[in-house]
Every structure is written in structure tokens, then in C-alpha cells.
Structure 1
Amino acid sequence: MNIEFIQTMILTFKVAFISTLVLLPFGILLGYILAYNKKAYILILEVLVWMPLILPPSVLGFYLLITFSPSNFIGKYLLENFNLKLVFSFDGIILASIIFSLPFMVNPIKDGFINLPKSLKEASYVLGKGKIYTLIFVLLPNMKSNILLGVITSFVHTIGEFGVIMMIGGNIPGQTKLASIAIYEEVDTQNIGLAHQYSISLFLITFVLLLVIFYINKKFINYDKTNN
């Protein structure tokens, strides 16, 4: 099997795994805030969460490229003070993946909080439990399917990223070249066989992960009906 193919696929899943792992606590925090906070500024926060889903990936990638370029203030500051380069680097595509997949993690978790019975929180508070205890031990265990949906859709979405990654990461083998970029490159060079190898791999992986989502959601729905 092509060594570069293996290297690219490993890098793709590494980026997806790290991004999803970082996104999970942020998704829970933002989902909780959006679900239960009714202040006016929350509308702005919700718009910002949705923006990566609506904006063309090339637009988001362009502004990340401009923002973190070493020739600009933020990029220069990070490089000089933290030796952190976010343009055309592995760290940069991790950041881009986190921002671009944010709504896929936050929205299912927010919906999970909204759909929980209010009596769960109220009962926990009546028993003298604080907000953090209630969140971790009362609310989250009752929305496992929403959390799983957020995790898997974020993971799958990260695997398929192209525009944002190409803009901020480029196409550096072993560092920023992910499977979606490799497909484009192989088609461009008329290497259809390898492009098909990447494509069928991503197709099968996506199919299996989505199958898991639907199976688990159906299982939870049937469980709820049985217990009600």
C-alpha cells in the first residue's frame, strides 16, 4: 500500500481526533450557555457559533491566514513570544478544524439541554446540589445521544474539511496534507486510482459513523418509549 496514503490518512484522523477532543468541553460549555441563558448578548454568541457553518470555508480560511500570518501583529506575537506558528503548520490546521467544526459540536448538545425536562435541574437544586454537580452528574448523563451526535458529526466533518485547511495549512505532506486535499491533488495530476482509494476510504468511514449515530439514536428513542 502507498506509504504516502497511509501517512495522509493517519494525519487526517489525528487532526479529527484532537479537534474533536478539544471541541467537546467547549461544546458542552457553549451548549449550556446557549440553552439556559436568556440575556440579549447570547444572540450574538449564537450567531458567532453558527458563522462557520454559513460562511464559505475559503472566507474563514482567508481571515485565519491573514490573522495568524507572521507578518501581522497576532501571528508575529505568537511566534516571537510562544514560538507558535499557526500558518502552514499542524497547529494551524488544528485551530482551523476546531473553529470550522464548532457548530457541529455545539448545536446537538444545546438541543440536548433544551429538550431535558426542567424538573431534572430543579430537583437537583432542591437537593442542595450546585450548578457544576448538576451539569456533570444530572444533565449530561441524560443526553448521551446528543453528546455522541456532536462528537461523531464533528469528527466526520473534520475529516472532510478542504477549503479552510487548504487556505491556512497548504499542502505539506506529513504536516498539513489531509485526505480531502490529497483527493484534489490526485485528480489534478490524473492519478485517479489513488484519488479513488482516498475517496472510498472516506466514504466507508463516514457511512459507518453515521450508521452508528442513527442506530444509537433509535436505541435511545425506543428506550425512552419503553420507560414512558
Structure 2
Amino acid sequence: MPDTASSFLGLPPALWQSLWLTLRLATITTLVLGVVGLPLAQWLNATRSRVGTVLETLVALPIVLPPTVIGFYLLVAFSPNHAPGSWWRDVTGGSLAFSFTGLVIASVFYSLPFAVQPFQAALRAVPRELLDAGTALGATPARVFIRLHAPLAWRGIAAGLTLGFAHTLGEFGVVLMIGGSIPGVTKVASIALYDDVQALAYPQAHAFAATLLVLSFFLLLAVTLLQRRRT
């Protein structure tokens, strides 16, 4: 990042590094949420089994659980002494905890309900008659979903993806437990801001907090506009 930009915003290169790492984490997490969350939302809407009820409850748990609880159990699971952390070590030779890959996995778990629930609402809002018409014309269920169902629900899907992205930007407890504060690897924006406050570097912390505030505002504004237009 050019020095002029750092000087203008009051952010040193180390904080730009943390901001870039956060945006990278949020982008990858959002892509995974789209690939995993959309089929999951469709299945949860369609199933009437008890397994679906239990799974839907598990997906929603991060909404009510303290982030440190999720972070603690993920940290235990990611350690080399437990699976899947031990499997990851055997395959890659590295640790899943305190790594960027571990942050991505933890972020997907933590942000899953913020994407899946809007996905479910958007998919349910599509009139059943339109989907039945596609099936009557001979399209397979997969083709109906890809060519008809998902495109008609695109505003809600976009809102879910935007919420997942915004939620990942604001993560603190989970990323602190899983990643710690390793510069360039796991030191994301919220951790860098916390470190500045702990060091009493308030002007620097204020500039960074304002940057995150503005970014979060515009992301939530986009979600609001998508939801209003869908309504």
C-alpha cells in the first residue's frame, strides 16, 4: 500500500496488512459459504426428517453461543492431538490451529447461520407453482434449482453472502482463539485494533476503527437495499 494512502488514513503498513488479511479471509469465507450454504439451505427447506431439524439447530448455534465457546472447541479439534487436527498434520505436516486455513474453517462455521438463514428465506419465497412448471416441462430437480430457483431468489442469496462477508469482518473471539495474533498470518483487523487499544495507541486505533465502521455500514446498507427491493 502506498505511503501516501497510509499517511492520509493514518494507518501504518502493519494495519494495512491486517486489513488486507481480513478482506482475504472474508472473501474466501464468503465463497465457501456460497458453495456449502446454498445446497444446505435447499436441503433444510425440503427435508422433513428429524436429522434436518437437529442440523438446522446446529447451524443456528453460533447466533446464541459466545464466540469464545465456539473458538475453544474448534481449537481443541484443530490441535495435533485430536481429529481433524491430527489428520491435517499427517497430510500437510503443519498445524491447523494458528494458521490461515484454520481461520477460514472457523469463520465458515461461525458465519454459516448468517448466510444459510437468508438463503432459506429467499428460496422459500419463490412461488412453488413456478418450480412445478419447470418440473412439468421435464427439467431435473438440479436443473430446476440452478436455472430457475436460485436465479429467482438471487436478491436474498446476495443478501446472505453480504451478511456472511460483513460478519467475518467483525469476528474477534473466534479468530483470537483459533489464530492468535501472528502478523501476516492470523492478525486480522479486529485483533490489530485490539492490540492498538491495549498499547494505548488511540489515534491509530481510531483511524482503523473508523475504516471498519464505514466498510461495515456500506455492506449492511447493501443488504438493506437488497431486502427492500426483494420485498
TM bin (shorter chain): over 0.9
SS in 1 for 2:84: helix
Residue of structure 2 equivalent to 1:179: 189
Output the amino acid matched with 1:111. A
* Alignment partners' CA distance in 2, 1:85 and 1:127: 51
* Equivalent pair of 2:99/2:185 in contact (CA under 8 Å): yes
Match of 2:229 among 206, 214, 219: 219
Deviations 1:39-74 (A, max 9, x none): 221100101110122211000000111111113343
SS in 2 for 1:72: coil
Is residue 68 from structure 1 mapped to residue 70 from structure 2 by the alignment?
A: no
Structure 1 segments unaligned to the other structure (5+ residues):
222-228
Residue of structure 1 equivalent to 2:136: 126
- TM (norm. structure 1) is 0.93
SS in 2 for 1:166: helix
| CA 1:73–1:104: 2 relative to 1, 3 Å | closer
Is residue 204 from structure 1 mapped to residue 198 from structure 2 by the alignment?
A: no
Residue of structure 2 equivalent to 1:161: 171
* Equivalent pair of 1:12/1:159 in contact (CA under 8 Å): yes
Residue of structure 2 equivalent to 1:46: 56
* Equivalent pair of 1:35/1:111 in contact (CA under 8 Å): no
Count of aligned residue pairs for this structure pair: 221
Residue of structure 1 equivalent to 2:205: 195
SS in 1 for 2:123: helix
Runs of 4+ in 1 over 4 A off after TM superposition: none
| CA 1:84–1:133: 2 relative to 1, 3 Å | farther
Matches within 5 A, 1:66-105: 66-105=76-115
Is residue 58 from structure 1 mapped to residue 68 from structure 2 by the alignment?
A: yes
| CA 1:76–1:40: 2 relative to 1, 3 Å | closer
* Alignment partners' CA distance in 1, 2:221 and 2:83: 45
Output the amino acid matched with 2:131. K
Post-superposition offset of 1:84: 4.7
Post-superposition offset of 1:122: 0.8
Structure 2 segments unaligned to the other structure (5+ residues):
1-5, 7-11
Q: CA RMSD in A?
A: 1.2
* Alignment partners' CA distance in 2, 1:157 and 1:117: 30
Q: Percent identity?
A: 37
Output the amino acid matched with 1:124. G
